[in-house]
Amino acid sequence: MDVTEEAVRDICTDAVFERGERYLTESRIHEIHCIGTTVTAIVSGSRQYDVRVDLATDGFAPWCDCPYDGPGACKHVVAVLLRCADDPPPDEGDQLDAALNGADADELRAFLRDALATDADLRARFLARVGEPTRQSADELRASIDRRFKETNPEYHVVFEPIDFTQWFDLANEYREQGRYASAATVYRALVESLDDNMERVDGAYDHFSSAFSRALNGYVDCVATTERDADAVTDAVTFLEERVTSGTPFLAEHFEKAAVELREKLGEQSDE
């Protein structure tokens, strides 16, 4: 929870740090909230941008929906972190815990059911949390991610601004925490396929999309390699990755090839045992 100016400087360029300082002094930060170690805020720029940071994570795990695609964090994130260093927002976690502890169990269940009925993303994470395997195929998940690309700039084929893939990464992480690596691999594969198929549309925020692709591919490889030592799953994954080497986005081919080699080696290790 100790946010220092030095720590903020470590995650951005000098120029971005100065812009973040200016945004802070110009009172551009609105609706800042803290729950535990997670801080969310709205920062005004050319439009309103959503910012999220985790004060307990090295590098603060910054996220912002602005189009910045340079090195390090953006000025909106920097402004929020500097605000946390100078004037930390009060932790609302205790208030939330008190409300939950005092809530009637039946009312809480009814509220949760209504929320889950109307929010498909929250419902998927809830089912993952309570141990249900995913009922969605990689194709179904990929279709929902593809829609996000289309909705980002509906009038044009090109995508200029970052897309928030958090809901799918959070879903995959829920499955991993439950030890359901096959379900997590399904989510990661959907992300890999959609990002690969839509990368030609990207014309901005290149670092954002490249980082999301690498994170999804690494997660996929890790989960497949851990899937109950299932040789068939590894073989299927290797085939998928090798096909993407030639059919996918050319500049991502090397990444697919390296991932295939890693899983092929894993399959060989299993065969020797």
Residue 238: the pLDDT is: 92
Question: Which H or E run includes 51?
Answer: strand 48-54
What's the CA gap between 234 and 224, in Å, rounded?
6
Least confident piece of the model among 7-21, 92-106, 196-210, 228-242:
228-242
Interval 159-197: pLDDT, tens: 888 888 988 998 999 899 888 899 999 999 999 999 999
Cβ–Cβ under 8 Å, residues 116 and 168: no
Place of tokens 């829609």: 147
Residue 229: the pLDDT is: 62
What's the CA gap between 8 and 76, in Å, rounded?
12
Arithmetic mean of pLDDT over the chain: 89
Cα torsion at 187, 192, 195, 199 (round to 10°)? 180
Interval 61-109: pLDDT, tens: 898 888 787 889 999 999 999 999 999 999 998 888 898 899 899 988 8
Q: Say how many C-beta atoms besides its own lie within 10 A of residue 94's C-beta.
A: 11
Residue 269: the pLDDT is: 63
Residue 228: the pLDDT is: 53
Least confident piece of the model among 189-193, 228-232, 246-250, 263-267:
228-232
130 — pLDDT class (breaks 50, 70, 90):
confident
123 — pLDDT class (breaks 50, 70, 90):
confident
Residue 259 has pLDDT above 70, yes or no: yes
Tell me which of 64 and 134 has the higher pLDDT.
64
Cβ–Cβ under 8 Å, residues 100 and 108: yes
Tell me which of 178 and 121 has the higher pLDDT.
178
Residue 38: the pLDDT is: 94
Residue 136: the pLDDT is: 82
Residue 36: the pLDDT is: 92
